[in-house]
Amino acid sequence: MISTRLTNLKNKLVDTQPRVYAERALLVTKAYQETEGCEPCVRRAHAMEKILLNCSVIIRENELVVGAKTPTPMGSPLYPEFNSQWIEKEIDTLAQRKETSFLIDEENKKLVKEKVLPYWPGRTVYDRILENVPHESLEAVDEGLFFHYYLNRSIGHITVDYGRILNQGLTGIQTQVEAALEKNPKNIYLQSLLKIISAISGFARRYADEAEKQAESCLNETRRQELLEIARICSMVPLHPATSFREAIQSFWFFHLVLNLESNSYAISPGRFDQYINPYYQKDLDQGIISQEAAQEVINCLWIKFAELTVVKEGETAKASNTYTDFQNLNIGGLKKDGTDGVNDISYMCIEAQKELCLPQPQLSCLISTRSPREFLVKSCELTRKGTGMPAVFNADELILALMDKGKSLEDARCGGINGCVEITGQGNDNMASSGYVNLAKCLELTLNNGKSMTTGRQWGPETGTAEVLDSMEKIWTAFETQIRHQATLKHQYDQGARAAFAAVCPVLCTSLAISGCIESARDFHEGGARYNLPMMCGVGTGTVADSLGAIDWFVFKKKMMPLNRITQAMQTNYATDDTLRHMLLKKGPKFGNDNDEVDIQAVKLIKTFVKVLKDFSNDQNNPYAANMIPTTAHLPFGELTAASADGRLAAAPLSEGISPVQGMDLSGPTAVVKTMGKIDHGATAGTLLNMKFTPKTLEGADRLNKFADLIRVYFDMGGHHMQFNVVDRETLLKAQKTPEEFRSLLIRVAGYSDYFVMLSKDVQDEVISRMDHAM
Amino acid sequence: MFLQLTRLAGHKNQLQNTLLTGTIFDVKRYAIHDGSGIRTTIFFKGCPLACLWCANPESQSYLPELTYISTECLSCGMCRQTCPNEAISLVDQKVIVAPEKCDLCGHCVENCPGNALQLMGRTVTLNGLFKEIETDRPFWDRSGGGVTLSGGEPLAQFDFILAFLNACKKKYISTAIETCLYTTLDKIKAILPVVDHVICDLKIMDSGRHKINTRVSNQMIKENMKILLVSGADVLVRMPLIPGINDDKKNLEAMGAFIESCRKGARVELLPYHRLGESKYRRMKKDYKLVHISPPSKEKMERARKVLETFDIHVLI
């Protein structure tokens, strides 16, 4: 099925080692040196102009969609303006580290060391964050209470209004900026936006020139024609509105690429791709300009481009987010603005692209509504059966409720989608981000030790009572809520301080061009210029906490088999002197994920409590914080720093991930998992993540596949938010650990993303293997 | 007066039903191989047959059974401490249960931190079981699934399953039963109006060989199957294919001819013999007698299918 062109492009991509390039860092450093003393927006505009007009223009062999961040695919520029300190510390060890290593050649290294690093100390966003946030909040990271984002990467979690770029072109946006300037002629911010618009068109123009140049020397007539067409397209978009499918795809990609050059943000997501692309495809199809096959090939080429993008991360971040992929969440399906079914031809062509190419990016998310055709659900399941961990499936109907609960209008909620792993977001109008994770299992550890860490002895929370005083579940819950609130306060201080730092020194002008609200208010995205601003925090360890509280409730209060302090003392010593107790807790306690109300209520209550506590905190725009139940891979480093827990988990072992049951404890099959998770109020959160693992046999044949589809449908009937699946035998994973070279293309689902199994560090691999297989 | 009496009778009936108990050894959720939709399968304990290839040796005895895996044992002595009948002793760090003292109360199992002691089988009340499985209703409703009674032999607990099937019928829950048909005809006739699908086994046509391999003669089974197939009920005939035991052409032809004679176009499913239950034999300290037999290859399955397809029946694998 897959064409020679795509085979070649894919092989090249898969065979290339991730590599760091100095070019962007040199340009941005020079630009900042040239603009000392100017307004931050002027400096950013100058820096982006320098990058876009001077970076290497790269058109790879056989490409139909062009524009690259680095000379080789899977390459990463450096973004020293955010944090140069980590680069200095780690540049020599990047190639050897366990988590997401990157090569860097001596020449690039030398340039970075001599021309980039000396300039930045004291001038980075990171420096500003350190000034803004309390020390305690940073130290809590070493304790395993939090993980903070933003310290070395930009905030991100951006879904811009790509549709606006395609429909109006930069010229259309320029008209809007000029209109705003008329009212406010001296506004430097708006002037900077104009400068950026011309820089982006200059960037595209350079690609048009390069394509023309390559065409001149091209001996292959077919390719020569392709290059001329590429040149024509690049001279039109994104400056002008797209007039065809090919132009729409290229216009999209240019803007997406520019966002990736602007900042090293997390999760710059294409969002509801099929919605804004389909009109162009239908028009071309009607006019006979393009065939379905040709359009599929262009989409496949775009898929390769998505998979090329990666960002080198600082070491600790690489542990909490241990992946080369960059959370480019591409949504298909869902509803239209008017509430009718949004599934279209492009939705199916995206599924097809992933089926044919099996790449780790983009992260394909299927938004499934009761109004979606059954075909869409079943085709999503067929892709699931391929075992690439994709797509993730989302409940489009609950998504609308969740977005409206967070203040979106009905229409904006219907147009909303998913960003990052599973986070709900408006499209092109929302500043939605979480600054990292809160370790809820550690909060419970503090609760059971009177506010003190069991691993370091440091008093992290208020004294809420010793085990002797906590003589009922009500008292434990009251204490637990106090501890969560205290940690949320610390995390909130960090979040606010960090956001203030970005707002002060790091406007993101390209992003702001395509986010509704920013031009109108002449306020940057980072300054709260978006129409909606939804702050969130992620809670980690739901399953571990549920099983721990479930065990305490059962053995201490219901069965009265032991006093609470027998458990807490054993936790202190990592069960060294009470192994019998550990086995009892582990094997005889009630376990979350088996449709057992006894313990499931603990998880329901935990999420409800977390949601309630966070509502009491707000951002500068007075929006309350929302709860998001995802770990990415933070449940591993958090686990390492968390003492033994009351569910029999040993110290340093991984915590549970997402809202999934504790690894291997869901013994009653997938329907029981679904029933359990259906008890959670997903709409009240800003996203929940449920991982499930199935053996390939369970999905064999049309009949079983349909039953699998029904399982998903029931979860969504019950109000579930998200599900993702690994369809792979345990034996295969064990084999892949032993002979990684034979399993280079084995993709599996980790957290909110898929990744090559053999590229993961050993502890992430082990954790994935330990999750329960749902077999026959 | 009459009304009162019937009401009283109804009450009595209800009372009896609530007192009815059954013995099961497992409830399997997300059962996707036995009939339409997502099903919940209840495994009843006890079977009049003892097929050599039985994959569920724990299904054979009608009573719960206590099992012990020494490798999982922590030698903590919790079982001895909690046994109300002083039936347990520890010898060389291993648990010894005195069968004459043990009344299968399950205290030791409940308190065994290593899960070394386990009880195969438990007693359930009608309401208890109904409540336990009804939580799966959303899946049945979405997928057109329902409840499957399996075993062991569910019909061996006739009163219980009849009441259970009736309860399902009243609640619009679709039901299926898997039976070996080694039972009396009146029982089959009694359940037919309240069960939606019947899955029954046909193993070996020769009565003598049937007896050697399953402990019983197949006379009654064949008679029941004939009546069932003739009746027009929704029936699937299952045939486990065990190499060297029933995969010979003569047996296959005899089976095909018999089924065709009962109902033209009957559905027959061939199940390949597997050895997944072997470890359970070890756990239960029972001998697995078919150690020398390997599961049939795909080719063997296809060959068997071809033989059966010479008759007017619909064969599935």
Model confidence band, residue A373 (pLDDT cutoffs 50, 70, 90): very high
pLDDT tens by residue, A231-252: 999 999 999 999 999 999 999 9
With 80 as the cut, is the pLDDT of residue B91 above it? yes
pLDDT at position A659, please? 96
Q: How far is A661 from chain B (nearest CA, A)?
A: 17
Q: Which tokens in the block code for residue B28?
A: 């399997």
Identify the band that residue B198 occupies on the pLDDT scale cut at 50, 70 and 90: very high
Give the pLDDT confidence score for residue B18 in this predicted structure.
Answer: 57
Q: How many residues does chain B have?
A: 317
**What backbone phi and psi angles, to 5 degrees, belong to A458?**
-75, 140
Kindly list the residues from chain A whose CB atom is less than 8 angstroms away from the CB atom of residue B32: 698, 703-704, 707, 776
User: Residue A286: pLDDT above 50?
Assistant: yes
- Alpha carbon of B129: minimum distance to chain A alpha carbons (Å): 15
Structural domain includes residue A11: yes
Q: How far is CA A139 from the centre of its chain?
A: 25
pLDDT at residue B275, rounded to an integer: 82
Beta-bridge partner residues of B316: B269
**B74: closest chain A residue by CA:** A580
What are the chain B neighbours of A551 within 8 Å (beta carbons)? none
Domain ranges of chain B: 21-62+122-316, 65-116
In a domain, A565, yes or no: no
Neighbours of A286 (CB within 10 A): 8
CA A553, CA A661: separation in Å to the nearest integer? 18
pLDDT at residue number A318: 82
pLDDT at residue A775, as a whole number: 59
Please name the residues in contact with A569: beta carbons below 8 A apart, sequence gap of 6 or more: A578
Q: Which of B26, B27, B28, B29 to mutate to test the interface with A (most CBs of A within 10 A)?
A: B29
Q: How many CB atoms lie within 10 A of CB A63?
A: 19
Question: In terms of Cα–Cα distance, which of B210, B204, B261, B269 is closest to B235?
Answer: B269
Q: Which of B110, B138, B143 sits opposite A707 (nearest CB)?
A: B143
Interface check for A675 against chain B (CB to CB < 8 A): the answer is: yes
Find out whether A382 and A376 touch, Cβ atoms under 8 Å. no
- Name which of A699, A772, A672, A717 is nearest A381 in CA terms: A699
Domains B21-62+122-316 and B65-116 share a fold: no
The overall average pLDDT reported for chain B is: 90
**Domain contains A253:** no
In this predicted structure, the answer to whether residue A316 has a pLDDT above a threshold of 90 is no
Nearest-angstrom CA–CA distance, A507 and B311: 78
What DSSP string runs through A350-362?
HHHHHHHH--S-S
Domain region containing A27: 4-148
Q: How many domains does chain A have?
A: 1
Does residue A517 belong to any structural domain of this protein?
A: no
Token duo for residue B39 = 């099903």
Residue A557 has what pLDDT? 98
Residue A559 has pLDDT above 60, yes or no: yes
Q: Which residue of A has its CA nearest to B139?
A: A714
Note whether residue A361 is domain-resident. no
B256 vs A158: CA distance, rounded Å: 65
Record: contact B135-A713, CB cut-off 8 A:
no
From the list A587, A669, A674, which residue is nearest B113 (CB)?
A587
The CA angle B56-B181-B175, to the nearest 5 degrees, is 80
- DSSP type of residue A459: B
Structure token pair of residue A423: 């986070």
Contact assignment for B115 to A675 by CB distance below 8 Å: no
What residues of A are annotated to the active site?
421, 423
> Which tokens in the block code for residue B179?
């039976």
Residue of A668, A707, A774 to mutate for B, most B C-beta atoms under 10 A: A707
- Kindly state whether A705 is in contact with chain B, defined as any CB-CB distance less than 8 angstroms: no
Q: What is the pLDDT of residue A83?
A: 95
Q: What tokens appear for A17 in the block? A: 């080692």
A10 inside domain: yes
Instruction: Characterize the bridge pairing of strands A423-425 and A417-419.
Output: antiparallel
| Cross-chain residue pair B38–A711, CB shorter than 8 Å | yes
User: How confident is residue B9, by pLDDT bands cut at 50, 70 and 90?
Assistant: very low
Q: Does A462 touch chain B (CB under 8 A)?
A: no
- Within a domain: residue A474? no
The 10s digit of each residue's pLDDT in A197-214 is 999 999 999 999 999 999
The Cα–Cα gap between B31 and B99 comes to 35
pLDDT(A605) > 80: yes
Cα–Cα distance between B273 and B244 in angstroms, integer? 11
Chain segment A56-110, per-residue pLDDT in tens: 999 999 999 999 999 999 999 999 999 999 999 999 999 998 888 999 999 999 9
* Nearest to B169, CA basis, from B153, B190, B143, B152: B190
Contact A669 B28 (CB under 8 A): yes
CB pairs under 8 A between A and B: 65
Query: What ipTM was assigned to the predicted interfaces of this complex?
Result: 0.87
Q: Determine the 3-state secondary structure of A375 from DSSP.
A: helix
Name the closest residue on chain B to residue A597, using Cα atoms: B135
In the predicted model, what is the mean pLDDT of residues A479-492?
Answer: 97
CB contact under 8 A, A706 and B138: no
d(CA A321, CA B68): 44
A interface test, pick of B134, B139, B317 with most A CB neighbours within 10 Å: B139
Is the Cβ pair A581, B115 closer than 8 Å?
no
* Per-residue CA distances from A646 to A230, A560, A653, B109 (Å): 61, 15, 13, 21
Average pLDDT estimate for A604-621: 97
pLDDT given at position A772: 66
Give residue B16's pLDDT. Answer: 54
Flag whether residue A579 sits within 8 Å of chain B, measured between CB atoms: yes
Does residue B5 carry a pLDDT above 60?
no
pLDDT grade, residue B3 (50/70/90)? very low
Which chain B residues are within 8 Å of A581, Cβ to Cβ?
113
| Structure tokens, A210 | 């390069």
* Minimal CA separation from A343 to chain B, in Å: 22
Residues of A in contact with B139 (CB under 8 A): 671, 674, 710-711, 714
What token pair was written down for B48?
């009049």
A693 touches chain B (CB under 8 A): no
Cβ of A583 and B74 within 8 Å?
yes
Q: Which helix (H) or strand (E) holds B88?
A: strand B88-91
Mutate to test the interface with B, among A558, A567, A586, A714 (most CBs of B within 10 A): A714
Reading the block at residue A731, the tokens are 């034996």
> pLDDT tens digits, residue range A120-165?
999 999 999 999 999 999 999 999 999 998 888 999 999 999 999 9
Burial grade of B7 (CB within 10 A; 0-12, 13-18, 19 or more): exposed
**Do residue B139 and residue A704 have CB atoms under 8 angstroms apart?**
no
Q: Residue A776: its pLDDT value, please?
A: 46
Residues of chain B found within 8 Å of residue A669, distances taken between Cβ atoms = 28-30
Task: Kindly state whether residue A130 falls inside one of the protein's structural domains.
Answer: yes
**CA-angle at A505, arms to A499 and A507, nearest 5°:** 80
Instruction: Check pLDDT > 70 for residue B2.
Output: no
Q: Which CATH number fits domain B65-116: 3.90.420.10, 3.10.20.600, 3.40.50.1820, 3.30.70.20?
A: 3.30.70.20
Reply yes or no: is the peptide bond before residue A391 cis, omega within 30 of 0: yes
Mean pLDDT of chain A: 94
Between residues A334 and A762, which one has the greater pLDDT? A334
Closest by alpha carbon to A393, among A376, A410, A406?
A: A376
Q: Is B1 exposed, middle or buried (0-12, 13-18, 19+ CB in 10 A)?
A: exposed
Of A227, A234, A226, residue with least CA distance to A205? A234
Flag whether residue A591 sits within 8 Å of chain B, measured between CB atoms.
Answer: no
Fold of B21-62+122-316: TIM Barrel (3.20.20)
Is residue B184 helix, strand or coil?
Answer: coil
The separation between CA A443 and the C-alpha centre of its own chain, rounded to angstroms, equals: 24
Check if the beta carbon of residue B150 is closer than 8 Å to that of residue B26: no
Strand partners, B240: B271
Greatest CA separation for chain B: 70
Interchain contact, A776 vs B38, CB within 8 Å? no
Q: CB-based contact (8 Å) between A668 and chain B? A: yes
**Res A481 pLDDT > 60:** yes
Give the C-alpha distances (Å, rounded to integers) separating A697 from A140, B33, B34, B76.
45, 11, 15, 40
For A710, the closest chain B residue by CA position comes to B143
Which residue of B lies nearest to A669 if distances are taken between CA atoms?
B29
Phi, psi of A194 (to 5 degrees): -65, -40
The per-residue pLDDT for range A654-712, each reduced to its tens digit, is 999 999 999 889 888 899 999 999 999 999 999 999 998 888 888 889 999 999 999 99
- In this prediction, residue B11 carries a pLDDT of 45
**Which residue in chain B has the smallest CA separation from A704?**
B32
Global confidence as pTM = 0.92
Contacts of B300 (CB under 8 A, 6+ apart): B241, B243, B247
Closest chain A CA to residue B75:
A580
- Give the gyration radius of chain A's Cα atoms: 26
Whether the CB-CB separation of A377 and A713 falls below 8 Å is answered with: yes
Long-range contact pairs involving B247-252 (C-beta distance under 8 Å, separation at least 24): B247/B296, B247/B300, B247/B304, B249/B307, B251/B204, B251/B205, B251/B206, B251/B209, B252/B304, B252/B307, B252/B308
Report which secondary-structure segment, H or E, holds A727.
strand A722-727
